[in-house]
Structure 1
Amino acid sequence: MRVQGPHDPLPGGRPRRIAVTGPPGAGKTTLARDLSDRMGLPFVEFESFYHAPEWTVRPTWQEDVLRYLERPEWAIEWQGEEVREQMTSRLHVLVWLDHPRLFAVARTIARTVKRRFGRGTPIAGGNVEGPLRTFFTDPGHIVKVSWQRHPVMRARVLRVVAEDRHPGLVIVRLRGQRQVDAWLRGPFSRSLAAARP
């Protein structure tokens, strides 16, 4: 396993299975979709497997995710504790958006406001996030969840690194949008260029 930064070259050329992780608001879905477009990989938003209307859970979500992971190529967000190990075992590259906590929370607030005014991406299952004013009354408000899950997601990635059970896995750690942009312009773009015939 290799843990590398925004300027380190990607080994092995174009990855065929890639996931993006980070806390809510880090930009996982946006980046995973962007990577899939650039690489021509299938992409399915993880929450579309999980969420049904009224914030209920789809009963077949685990089977559906595992079926998707059986494909030879894909991009996805690194989520779902019950399927995370199977996903990790299939990965070539895990992009870790290890943004500062306040940065991720600020992005979550901005995203919530955009969604409330109809300028954001619809949420899976037709669900709607609560307005910012419910922050004080809703214990599961997405802004609170972003703050709470930041250290949790970091610990999960660090556990994968410490256990070192996936020797072929490359983890790209990116902190802040400047590092994301630098990685996309540099190592990622070079890996795509090297893979072209």
Structure 2
Amino acid sequence: MLSAGDPLPFQPERVLVAGVTGSGKTTLARRLANLWLLEHIEIDGLFHGPNWTPRPEFLDDVRAFAATDRWITEWQYTSKGTDEIMTSRAQVAIWLDYPYRVVRWRLIRRTLQRRILRTPLWNGNVEPAAWTRGAWSGENDILRWQTSTRHKWDERMPLIETEYPHLTIVRLTHPRETERWLDRMADR
């Protein structure tokens, strides 16, 4: 596993960005797509259909983009069968392993912004308004979801290193470290 100070041994063409909800996977994927001239496939847009229902074509869409030569996406929906499809093709995984206080604040800020501004997301979906009943409970409790999954990657990455030895993993432990790493990537 590489750290922020280690150079990537090659220019990646197929990249996964891992991290807990709210860590900044999509933002980093967009930035790296621009830097490395990769197609960014936002996996939430493939998964969520109208009214937040899972799209039946999801795995077919994942197979289709994973079969192409140059892409970057967020690494999530691991329980939906995406691991074998994407991880076997990916060359690099960027793991955003930030402190909990950082990802918690990011998620609160993002969720409030989306709910107050009523930001349209994938396939016409909008998060519940911040002031409505049930907006912060049950299926809508993104903060609880973050808490319950915050150690997921700590547990998974050692197994992934063993199962996918071809995959170069870069672990970034703070947003400042990520910015320095991005600066080094841009200089290459």
Q: How does 1:1-197 map to 2 (within 5 A)?
A: 3-12=1-10, 14-81=11-78, 82-118=81-117, 122-132=120-130, 134=134, 137-138=137-138, 140-161=140-161, 164-186=162-184, 188-190=185-187, 193=188
Aligned AA (1:56): T
Alpha-carbon deviation of 1:119?
8.2
Question: 1: distance between equivalents of 2:147 and 2:12?
Answer: 31
**Which piece of structure 1 moves more, 46-55 or 84-93?**
84-93
Structure 1 contact 96–172 (Cα < 8 Å) conserved: yes
The answer (yes or no) to whether the contact 1:135–1:143 under 8 Å persists in 2 is: no
Q: Distance in 1 between matches of 2:182 and 2:105?
A: 23
Aligned to 2:88, the other structure's residue is in SS state helix
Q: How far apart, CA to CA, are the structure 2 residues paired with 1:157 and 1:105?
A: 21
TM-score (norm 1): 0.86
- Return closer, same or farther for 1:113/1:23 CA change in 2, 3 Å cut-off: same
Change (3 A) 1:75 1:137: closer
Identity of aligned residues (%): 35
| 1: CA distance, partners of 2:173 / 2:135 | 27
| Cα distance change of structure 1 residues 114 and 136 upon mapping to structure 2, 3 Å threshold | closer
Give unpaired runs (5+ residues) of structure 1: none
Name structure 2 gaps, 5 residues minimum. Answer: none
Shift in Å at residue 7 of structure 1? 0.9
- 2:15 aligns to what SS in structure 1? strand
Take 2:71 and 2:106, find their aligned partners in 1: how far apart are those partners? Answer: 26
Asked if the contact 2:16–2:90 (Cα under 8 Å) also holds between the matched residues in 1, the reply is yes
CA contact (8 A) 1:32 1:43 kept: yes
Q: CA shift at 1:135, angstroms?
A: 6.1
- Hey, what's the Cα distance between the residues in 1 that align with 2:91 and 2:171? 14
The answer to whether the 8 A contact 2:19-2:153 is kept is yes
Structure 2 length as normaliser, TM-score? 0.90
> Residue 117 of structure 2 aligns to a residue in which SS?
coil
**Partner letter of residue 54 of structure 1?**
N
Is the partner of 2:163 in helix, strand or coil?
coil
Which whole-Å deviations, capped at 9, do the CAs of 1:159-189 have from their partners, x for residues lacking one?
A: 212xx23232110001111111011012x22
Report if the CA contact (8 A) 1:93-1:170 is conserved.
Answer: yes
- Tell me the number of residue pairs that the alignment of Structure 1 and Structure 2 aligns: 184
